[in-house]
Amino acid sequence: MENMKWIVLGIAILMYAFVIVFQDKKIWFTTIAAVLVIIFGMIFPGAVFDLPEDVMASVSSVPAHLYAFTHSFTDIINWNVLMIYIGSMIIAALFIYSNVPARIADNIVAHSKSTGFAIIAILAMTGIISIFVENVATVLVMAPIALALCKKLKINPTFFMIGLAVMSNLEGTATLVGDPPSMIFASYAGYNFNDFFVHQGTLSIFFIVQAGMIAGCIFFYFYFARQSKDKVSVDREKVISWFPLALLLAMIFGLAGVSFIHTSFEYTSGLYVLALGIIGVLWYFFLQKKTKDETKKLVKELDWETIFFLIGIFIVIGAIQETGLLEDLAQFLAKITGGSKFAGFMIILIVSVVISGFVDNVPYIIAMLPVASSMAITMNLKPELYMFALLIGSCLGGNLTPFGASANIVAMGIVKKEGYPMKFSGWLKVGVPFTVITTGVAAVVLWLLWA
Q: Which of 8-12, 231-235, 396-400, 411-415 has the highest mean pLDDT?
A: 8-12
Task: List the Cα angle 75/76/82 in 5-degree steps.
Answer: 95
Mean pLDDT for 185-213 is 89
Q: What are the backbone dihedrals phi and psi of residue 203, each rounded to the nearest 5 degrees, phi first?
A: -55, 135
pLDDT value of position 57: 59
* pLDDT value, residue 49: 82
The pLDDT tens digits for 273-308 are 899 999 999 999 999 999 999 999 999 988 788 788
pLDDT score of 229 more than 60: no
Band (pLDDT 50/70/90 cuts) for residue 54 is low
Q: Give mean pLDDT, residues 243-251.
A: 89
Is residue 20's pLDDT more than 80?
A: no
Residue 262 has a pLDDT of 66
Q: How far apart are CA 182 and CA 248, in angstroms?
A: 18
- pTM for this one? 0.73
Give the model's pLDDT for residue 188: 85
Q: Which amino acid is at 154?
A: K
Q: What share of the chain is helix, strand, coil (3-state, %, to 5)?
A: 75, 0, 25
For every residue of 305-357, DSSP letters joined together read HHHHHHHHHHHHHHHHHHTTHHHHHHHHHHHHTTT-HHHHHHHHHHHHHHHHT
* Model pLDDT, residue 152: 67
Q: What integer pLDDT is reported at residue 59 of this predicted model?
A: 53
Mean residue pLDDT across the chain? 82
Residue 34 CA to residue 32 CA, distance in Å, equals 5
Alpha carbon distance 77, 75 (integer Å) = 6
Higher pLDDT, 386 or 233: 386
CB 303 within 8 A of CB 86: no
How much is the pLDDT for 187?
82
Measured between alpha carbons, how far is 278 from 69 in angstroms, rounded to an integer? 29
Mean pLDDT, rounded, for 251-256: 78
Per-residue pLDDT reduced to its tens digit, 150-175: 776 677 788 888 888 888 888 888 88
| 61 confidence band (pLDDT: 50, 70, 90) | low
pLDDT mean over 65-85: 84
Between 236 and 241, the higher pLDDT residue = 241
Q: pLDDT per residue over 318-358, tens digit each?
A: 888 788 776 777 677 777 877 788 888 998 899 888 888 87
pLDDT for 355-410, tens place per residue? 888 766 777 787 788 888 888 888 888 889 999 999 999 888 888 888 777 778 77
pLDDT, position 55: 64
- Higher-pLDDT residue of 24, 352: 352
Q: Report the pLDDT value the prediction gives residue 441, as an integer from 0 to 100.
A: 94
Who has greater pLDDT, 210 or 379? Answer: 210
- Of the listed ranges 168-177, 229-238, 257-266, 397-406, the least confidently predicted one is 229-238
Question: pLDDT over 70 for what percent of the chain?
Answer: 91
Distance CA 226, CA 64 (A): 68
pLDDT value for 439: 92
Q: What is the pLDDT of residue 288?
A: 94
Mean pLDDT of all residues in 77-81: 82
More confident residue, 143 or 351: 351
pLDDT, greater one: 119 or 36: 36
Evaluate whether 55 touches 62 at the Cβ level (below 8 Å): yes
pLDDT confidence of residue 276? 94
Q: What is the pLDDT of residue 233?
A: 64
| pLDDT band at 197; cut points 50, 70, 90 | very high
Taking residues 102-114, report their average pLDDT.
75
> Over 60: is that where the pLDDT of 227 sits?
no
Per-residue pLDDT reduced to its tens digit, 184-194: 888 888 888 88
